[in-house]
Amino acid sequence: MTILNSFLTVLQVLSAVAVIVLVLLQHGKGADMGAAFGSGSAGSLFGSSGSATFLSRLTAVCATIFLACTLGLSFYANLGGSVVSGSVMKGVVAPAAKDADLPKDVPATDIGSEVPAPLGTPSVPVQEIPK
């Protein structure tokens, strides 16, 4: 089965590169306007219709090979394994707080018992402002 996995992986990479190259070789819709005014070559290497039909069909074939390889690799990956459900944070343990992490001015017994002040109120008592 390792040979099949390697073969499918190589075939998938080659078909992906082929699809990329074939898409980049094809001309866009705006290229026909240039050919209408004489700057393009109407009679090309692939015939009077140009390379559109040949490259389009070749792209479709390479895309089908890519899809088949992707499905084959996903089937091969799930063939021997069992599906495990659960959280990805299931085995993570929170680190214990060290004495260096605790504030110096608050005793350790009072941590978490304070109610936070509303927004806009200073954390240090303000002396009375003279009028």
pTM confidence score:
0.50
Predicted pLDDT at 9: 94
Predicted pLDDT at 91: 78
Predicted pLDDT at 84: 66
Is residue 4 within 8 Å of residue 12, measured between CB atoms? no
| Integer Cα distance of 121 and 112 in angstroms | 19
Over its length of 131 residues, how does the chain's per-residue pLDDT go in tens digits?
689 889 999 999 999 999 999 999 887 776 666 555 655 554 455 555 555 688 889 999 999 999 999 999 998 888 866 666 777 777 788 777 666 655 666 555 545 555 666 666 666 666 776 66
Predicted pLDDT at 79: 80
**Cα separation values, 128 from 122, 125, 131, Å:** 13, 9, 9
| Integer Cα distance of 115 and 36 in angstroms | 77
| Integer Cα distance of 71 and 33 in angstroms | 40
Tokens of residue 117, six digits: 């002040």
